[in-house]
Amino acid sequence: MNYPSKLVEDAVNEMAKLPSIGKKTALRLILHLLKQNEVATESLADALLKLRRQICYCKQCHSIADQEICSVCKSHSREKELICVVEDTKDVLTIENTNQYRGLYHVLGGIISPMHGSGPDQLNIESLVRRVKEGNVKEVILALPSTMDGETTSFYLAKKLKESEVKVTSIARGIPLGSDLEYMDELTIGRSILRRTSYE
Amino acid sequence: MNYPSKLVEDAVNEMAKLPSIGKKTALRLILHLLKQNEVATESLADALLKLRRQICYCKQCHSIADQEICSVCKSHSREKELICVVEDTKDVLTIENTNQYRGLYHVLGGIISPMHGSGPDQLNIESLVRRVKEGNVKEVILALPSTMDGETTSFYLAKKLKESEVKVTSIARGIPLGSDLEYMDELTIGRSILRRTSYE
């Protein structure tokens, strides 16, 4: 595409680096900003820069935080003996929004993925093992993706945590509530039958 | 949604002001930026600010330009007696990409829309009338949307330009090339029969 100005081209190229934003969408967003007041662009740029420069991560669970220790880790009403291990902060937000979980979190910051060249050393695994050993942790819930890499990571963590004699569990896999069997993939259906639960 | 930090919340809110970006998408984009190097965010913010502050518009056709007069208006190989009237710069880019049009453009900067409170005075209509009067313009092609507002604007322009005795045309409406009649709306099919063209 030929852009009418180098400024537009640069902005489109930068915007299109964001995931799921192509050049056409980027151009649309940028022409929208041009139609708005200058303040709109300034406050967007400002919010992004501030975020990137001032962001902190919780020293205990590695989730995004306002202070040194995040509000979940600091809270007195959470069950400190329960840790849920997730891939990134997005998952913490997702689980928090359910209002169902009252334990703490541990953000790995990714998963083991030999294909993408990320090994266990790049993840927050050592600090998890330390938390489990030093704290009074009774159960670690693994809530990692059910992909090949996710399963590998779960397996690796389960092995690492074996020495600590902590209970390691995984979130339940099965048919989502409200879903029709008809539209489910065979792997999920097969697994939901194998791992059936007894009626209480 | 509860955000883990005010910084994240602000950035999500600013990002979600962009068209077709909801809060969930905004959060995903922002967590992506946090995973990247700081330079990525800085160059995005920088490109946006530079764009908004330094952007110029062509004095003749009001399209986005690098200099006072845009490259299309300045070019010696374009047909100066032909002006295509479009809603905004995006349409100029779209038509330019076809490589089919060799005339000049005129960007209105919107369309007449009583519902949104934008009247003819906010648009670059006076300068179009002046261009047609003063220049050696033979034909004005209206390429505005075929919505109610677009048609109103086209009608208004046609009336305004009547005094100048310039030929006013509209881009052809009909069945797009490669489209099946079956999937077309009735209005388009009806109009394509009414305005049928003779085989050359």
Pair of tokens at residue B1: 């949604």
A116 touches chain B (CB under 8 A): no
Q: pLDDT per position in chain A (200 positions), as tens?
A: 778 888 999 999 999 999 999 999 999 999 999 988 899 999 999 999 999 998 889 999 999 988 889 989 999 999 999 999 999 998 998 999 889 999 999 999 999 998 888 899 999 999 999 999 988 899 999 999 989 999 999 999 999 998 888 999 999 888 888 888 888 888 888 888 888 888 86
Pair of tokens at residue A106: 């541990």
pTM of the entire structure? 0.78
B94 touches chain A (CB under 8 A): no
pLDDT of B75 reads 92
B55 φ/ψ sector (left φ>0, alpha ψ -120 to 50, else beta): beta
Inspect the interface and report whether the beta carbons of A34 and B65 lie closer than 8 Å.
no
Given pLDDT bands bounded at 50, 70 and 90, which one contains residue B43? very high
B33 touches chain A (CB under 8 A): yes
pLDDT of B143 reads 94
Inspect the interface and report whether the beta carbons of B52 and A34 lie closer than 8 Å.
yes
Element spanning A110, H or E? none
pLDDT digits (tens, 9 = 90+) for A82-134: 999 999 998 998 999 889 999 999 999 999 998 888 899 999 999 999 999 98
Inspect the interface and report whether the beta carbons of B47 and A71 lie closer than 8 Å.
no
Return residues 54-83 of B near A (CB < 8 Å): 54-56, 63-66, 70-71
Inspect the interface and report whether the beta carbons of B4 and A66 lie closer than 8 Å.
yes
B69: closest chain A residue by CA: A4
Return residues 145-174 of A near B (CB < 8 Å): none
pLDDT digits (tens, 9 = 90+) for B170-198: 998 888 888 888 888 888 888 888 888 88
Rounded to a whole number of angstroms, the distance from the CA of A163 to the nearest CA of chain B is 32
What is the ipTM, given to two decimal places?
Answer: 0.80
> Which chain B residues are closer than 8 Å to A93 by Cβ?
1-4, 27
Q: Where are the beta strands (DSSP E) in chain B?
A: 56-57, 64-65, 79-86, 103-107, 139-142, 167-170
Determine the average pLDDT of the residues in B140-144: 94
DSSP symbols for A119-147: -GGGSTTHHHHHHHHHTT--EEEE---SS
Contact B154, B128 (CB under 8 A): no
Instruction: List domains and CATH numbers for chain A.
Output: 6-54 (1.10.8.420), 77-170 (3.40.1360.10)
Rounded to a whole number of angstroms, the distance from the CA of B71 to the nearest CA of chain A is 8
Reply yes or no on whether the pLDDT at B2 is more than 80: no
Inspect the interface and report whether the beta carbons of B45 and A45 lie closer than 8 Å.
yes
A187 touches chain B (CB under 8 A): no
Mean pLDDT of chain B: 91
DSSP symbols for B119-142: -GGGSTTHHHHHHHHHTT--EEEE
pLDDT of B170 reads 92
Angle at B91 between CA B88 and CA B92, to 5 degrees: 95
Contact B132, B158 (CB under 8 A): no
Size of interface A-B (CB pairs under 8 A): 173
Determine the average pLDDT of the residues in B26-38: 91
From CA B174, how far away is CA B39, in angstroms rounded? 48
From CA B153, how far away is CA B20, in angstroms rounded? 26
Cα B170 → chain centroid:
16
Inspect the interface and report whether the beta carbons of A93 and B25 lie closer than 8 Å.
no
Inspect the interface and report whether the beta carbons of A32 and B18 lie closer than 8 Å.
yes
